[in-house]
Chain A
Amino acid sequence: MEPEPLRIAHWWGEAFDNAMSAFAEQHPQYDVSNEPAPWDGYHTKIPTTVAAGTAADVMFMNAGQFMELLPQGVGADLTEYLNGDPDIDADLWAIEPALDTGWEGVPYGLPQWHPDSANLWVNKDLMSEAGIETPEWGHDDFMTWNWDDLVEAAVATTKRMDDGSFEQWGIALGRLHSSSYRDMVWTNGGEFFDDTTHERPTESLFTEPEVVEAFQYLVDFELKYNVGTRPDDEAVIGADGSYLSGKVAITWNWNIYGVMKQANFDWGIITPPFQERRANKYGGNSWVVNAASDHQDAGYEFVSWGATKLEGQKQFVAVGTVPAYNPHGIIPEAESEAQSNVWKLIIARQEAALEDGAARAYALGPHGTEIEDILNAEVALIFNGDQSVEETMANVKAQADALLG
């Protein structure tokens, strides 16, 4: 019997080659076609191939794509597959798929990785030198060290030359990491929209005091305390590079455990600082089965293998982060204590956010991409000294509300 064709699209390039080969080897009944595309092209490839009726059977998507594409009927409803899968225990999801990769309560995909991995990466050598204790996983305060603590650490670890130029920076935010302002707004008790699921917002809340305060807190690292790297500092090497140079004490980034192997200093990972509540995001990278595919059963088999079966999870965890399904189950597979601690922190943070009722969708709604562009453009004017945070948020709100209206 001829193997059933199964086309899988993603933007992770060669990083997924081993996983695809492993699945194909374990499932000879499928003729697996691995279809990677660079991220820039992928963003346009998915909608155009869907429109042309030539999309892959399984498509990897990020949070922004769910919000834009799932309401358009791109993904197959996986409810029956999930209900009928004897190997899946619904209680073991870090976030239920209907929320993480769904739309209006319907699961259209399975998250491969844990909802959020963006945290603070710390150069412990620089922290120790400044007499600051690093609140890593297992530390008494690892989940509740607060806004003032981060300012104190960033200020204490900043060093300048005689001429005032930086010898060492306290923090590299990439000016405003897309994860940083979300975390700060939510932990401060704020919301971006009147709909906390972000699925059908009718009004944005950028001018609410909690939101303004969170943005002010972040820009102050550069404008008030003068302890953060500037775009000039990061123009060529980026925030990762400046951190790896060993001259930055703290950086806000996704799971860069793989990158950290290159670090020639003692590093650690800590949660973003706490304020009113512990907060986190959901909407990790997920597999979506094409609603128009003739091979949906095969597609689901691949998707469930990667997202929920340990042999599949092991393939993807090597390039990403802890799985979204039964995340505790992968801990023994960590290659080192350092990796294990990264995973434990990511899991603990999400559980705490759920406990505090402050786990929110990463994507800023169906117009999220456009709203983020508006936000980035307006925020740049704060750093340039052209407008205050209050003025900026009022401008963002006006433009965002025009889109929502």
Chain B
Amino acid sequence: MSMRLREELEAYLFLLPWILGFLLFLVGPLAASLYFSVADYNILQPPKLVGLANYQTMFADDPLFLKSLRITAIYTFASVPLIVTMGYLVALLLNQKVRGLSVWRTIFYLPAVVSGVAVAVMWVWVFDPDGGIVNNLLRLAGIEGPAWFTDPDWALTTLILTSLWGIGGGMVVYLAGMQGVPTHLYEACELDGGGTWNRFRHVTLPMTTPVIFFNLLIGIIGSWQVFTNAYVITNGGPANATLFYVLFLYRQGWKYHKMGYASALAWVLFFIILIFTIIVFKTSGWVYYESDQADQST
């Protein structure tokens, strides 16, 4: 056996656990889900092929499918820009040289590691119409607050507001990006007479566009898969006002045992996320990659 062949075999041997896991736990379920999506399958009886009937039902006969799509799209378009912007602004603040910086960073990051269910329960208390802190503060200002989660007209907005709780995760990535900006660029800017705004506008912002791009993409993908808060706090209500797509999918599969339909919904979601991802990549001309510049200069 040649050395090269032996090395290749060893490489595959070391890769084998991952390959097996990939095949068993990713490719296998993916293929099964694709098969179930064209079948009538209730878990307890063998799947029965029905062609594209599940997809047809979805688009032609199920008003809740379109409603859940609309709700999730609204959430995505409202919460992602909010989270991306707020996370970036907080990161900018925490990138300053101030006393107790590490403590502040920890405090802002802490929410990202708290259990989603515990946080959801906390929001129920915070937005309680009668005794919640938000409405009590509004009352102090002479404003009678809405019923938040229990009002169909406000429930989705309230969930969008609660999404800001998660800015800590993105903030850490922004901070890492900001810390990685070479100091000589700031020095050059200062030598050219650039002040704080110019340092931000011409150095920090362009140099951190890759992490903004990353957080934007992850944010969009995550927002289409929102589940916990909608499940724990509102359970899709009131009047289906917070019936997010994944909650709708979950209900079809695990509550009504329509696994075939749920699988079809999952594939549609996959394509929606794929389309959004492609759009984000296609419109990513604003992202500055230092390596690209280096390639062009050689």
Residue of A nearest to B146 (CB): A232
Residue of B nearest to A44 (CB): B254
Known: A48-B43, A370-B256. A402 touches B61 (CB 8 A): yes
Q: How many B residues touch the partner, as a band?
A: 20 to 34
B125 at the interface (CB under 8 A from A): yes
A47 engages B152 (CB within 8 Å): no
B8 to chain A, nearest CB (A): 38
A50 at the interface (CB under 8 A from B): yes
Binds B, one of A67-75, A117-125, A338-346: A67-75
Residues B133-159 near A (CB distance < 8 A): 147, 149-153
For the complex, give the distance between the alpha carbons of A16 and B237 in Å: 32
A236 engages B239 (CB within 8 Å): no
A15 at the interface (CB under 8 A from B): no
Binds B, one of A80-88, A103-111, A324-332, A378-386: A378-386
A43 engages B147 (CB within 8 Å): no
B225 at the interface (CB under 8 A from A): no
A235 engages B124 (CB within 8 Å): yes
Query: Which of A69, A377, A386 has the most chain B CB atoms inside 10 A of its CB?
Result: A377
Residues B65-92 near A (CB distance < 8 A): none
Residue of B nearest to A387 (CB): B239
Residue of A nearest to B44 (CB): A72
Q: Count A interface residues, CB 8 Å.
A: 29
Among candidates A51, A232, A367, A377, residue contacting B150 with C-beta atoms closer than 8 Å: A232
Among candidates B43, B147, B152, B239, residue contacting A232 with C-beta atoms closer than 8 Å: B147
For the complex, give the distance between the alpha carbons of A23 and B130 in Å: 47
Residue of B nearest to A376 (CB): B237
For the complex, give the distance between the alpha carbons of A346 and B45 in Å: 38
Residue of A nearest to B135 (CB): A232
A209 at the interface (CB under 8 A from B): no
Known: A232-B150, A235-B128. A381 touches B251 (CB 8 A): no
Residue of B nearest to A382 (CB): B239
For the complex, give the distance between the alpha carbons of A69 and B236 in Å: 25
A384 engages B128 (CB within 8 Å): no
Contacts of B254 in A (CB 8 A): 43-44
- Mark A47-58 against chain B: 1 for CB-CB distance below 8 A, else 0: 110110000000
For the complex, give the distance between the alpha carbons of A72 and B42 in Å: 9
For the complex, give the distance between the alpha carbons of A149 and B15 in Å: 75
Contacts of B128 in A (CB 8 A): 232, 235-236
A47 engages B255 (CB within 8 Å): no
Residue of A nearest to B251 (CB): A373
Known: A51-B44, A69-B44, A384-B152. A231 touches B238 (CB 8 A): yes
Residues B223-275 near A (CB distance < 8 A): 236-240, 251, 254-257
Among candidates A73, A74, A384, residue contacting B238 with C-beta atoms closer than 8 Å: A384
Known: A44-B254, A68-B257. A377 touches B240 (CB 8 A): yes
For the complex, give the distance between the alpha carbons of A384 and B255 in Å: 26
Contacts of B151 in A (CB 8 A): 384
Query: Which of B42, B129, B150, B256 has the most chain A CB atoms inside 10 A of its CB?
Result: B150
B131 at the interface (CB under 8 A from A): yes
A235 engages B129 (CB within 8 Å): yes
A233 at the interface (CB under 8 A from B): yes
Among candidates A50, A232, A236, residue contacting B44 with C-beta atoms closer than 8 Å: A50
For the complex, give the distance between the alpha carbons of A369 and B250 in Å: 13
Contacts of B147 in A (CB 8 A): 230-232, 235
A377 engages B42 (CB within 8 Å): no
Residues A304-318 near B (CB distance < 8 A): none
Contacts of A381 in B (CB 8 A): 152, 239
Residues B2-58 near A (CB distance < 8 A): 42-45
Residues A357-395 near B (CB distance < 8 A): 367, 369-370, 373, 376-378, 380-381, 384, 386
A235 engages B44 (CB within 8 Å): no
Residues B163-218 near A (CB distance < 8 A): none
Contacts of A402 in B (CB 8 A): 61
A134 to chain B, nearest CB (A): 28
- Mark A24-55 against chain B: 1 for CB-CB distance below 8 A, else 0: 00000000000000000001100110110000
B239 engages A377 (CB within 8 Å): yes
A231 engages B124 (CB within 8 Å): no
A47 engages B257 (CB within 8 Å): yes
Contacts of A369 in B (CB 8 A): 255-256
A236 engages B61 (CB within 8 Å): no
For the complex, give the distance between the alpha carbons of A244 and B125 in Å: 19
Known: A373-B251, A381-B152. A72 touches B239 (CB 8 A): no
Contacts of A74 in B (CB 8 A): 44
B42 engages A380 (CB within 8 Å): no
B44 engages A380 (CB within 8 Å): no
For the complex, give the distance between the alpha carbons of A162 and B196 in Å: 57
Contacts of A370 in B (CB 8 A): 255-256
Query: Which of A48, A68, A235, A236 has the most chain B CB atoms inside 10 A of its CB?
Result: A235
For the complex, give the distance between the alpha carbons of A266 and B45 in Å: 52
Contacts of A376 in B (CB 8 A): 237
A377 engages B237 (CB within 8 Å): yes
B255 engages A43 (CB within 8 Å): yes
Contacts of B130 in A (CB 8 A): 232-233, 235
Contacts of A230 in B (CB 8 A): 147, 150
15 contacts between A and B (CB under 8 A): A47-B44, A51-B43, A69-B44, A231-B150, A232-B130, A235-B128, A236-B132, A373-B236, A373-B251, A377-B237, A377-B239, A380-B152, A380-B239, A381-B152, A402-B61
* Given A373-B251, A384-B152; 17 other pairs, CB 8 A cutoff: A43-B254, A44-B254, A47-B44, A48-B43, A230-B150, A231-B150, A235-B128, A373-B255, A377-B237, A377-B239, A377-B240, A380-B237, A380-B238, A381-B152, A384-B151, A384-B153, A384-B238
What are the 5 closest A-B residue pairs judged by CB atoms, nearest first?
A231-B150, A380-B239, A232-B129, A72-B44, A380-B238
